[in-house]
Amino acid sequence: MKNLLRLLSLIAALSTLTPSVRSAPVSLFDGKTLEGWDYDPKVWRVEDGVITGGSRTEKIRENFFIASKKSYQNFELVMKIKCSGDPATGFINSGIQVRSVRVPGGAHMSGYQVDCGAGWFGKIYDEFRRNRVIADPVDAPALAKVLDVFGWNEYRIRAEGPRIRTWINGVLAIDYTEADKNIALDGQIGPQVHSGGVCLVQVKDVTVEELPATPNVPTWQSLGGVDAARKLVTPAPKQKADAKPAEKAK
């Protein structure tokens, strides 16, 4: 009996040292439909087995997002994204919203945008909130060596607590830690096609692995909703040296 009690005590002690069980990665795209996504069907569709947004012939008049219906706090997101177009027609740009939400009354999203596009790889732009770049590439020269500017690039975005890290094609591109306690650390995932030129955005091989939640962090709900949360931070002026073109800065 004493040996059994010792064994049970040992098992109990070891259980306290065992890390939280992580969920297995889940696919967010079945290659055939946009089930599980919120989107404008005039802009987003499935073509040749990939999520496709934008146009091959017409300029994009405003920013459009395809957003996951589910929200996430801590996670690891993997996807391949391609942003292509002729820069002579205007701004060619995309990005991936994380920990973001739809803005009531419109198609906008507010939150972190992990950028994608010439001159913007390796940056986080705070979309429709602080309206400025909040993170720059960890090592821009190293990142430039692995990029296919108008081709496919694989993004791995890991968000844990206030920290967001991003690898592009296996190279660490972003390592950002949020210091503002009025910034929500949960929300939807949303690829973007940016206004400007004739631009086509394609996305495939999308998976997300949910990680153990961080207790007592700010959320969009705890901050009072998207409108209230946006009022808690001070947006940057629309025209800044490091800002995106005027149509990008909201």
Q: What is the CATH number of the domain that holds 192?
A: 2.60.120.560
- The pTM of this model reads 0.88
Question: What is the per-residue pLDDT for 242?
Answer: 41
What average pLDDT does range 51-71 have in this prediction? Answer: 98
Total tally of structural domains belonging to the chain:
1
Q: Given pLDDT bands bounded at 50, 70 and 90, which one contains residue 209?
A: very high
Question: What is the per-residue pLDDT for 234?
Answer: 80
172 domain residue, yes or no: yes
What average pLDDT does range 124-132 have in this prediction? Answer: 97
Question: What is the per-residue pLDDT for 106?
Answer: 78
β-bridge mates for residue 187, sequence order: 72
Amino acid identity for residue 169 in this structure: N
What average pLDDT does range 82-97 have in this prediction? Answer: 98
245 domain residue, yes or no: no
242 domain residue, yes or no: no
246 domain residue, yes or no: no
40 domain residue, yes or no: yes
What is the domain range of residue 31?
23-231
Residue 246 has pLDDT above 50, yes or no: no
250 domain residue, yes or no: no
236 domain residue, yes or no: no
Question: What is the per-residue pLDDT for 6?
Answer: 60
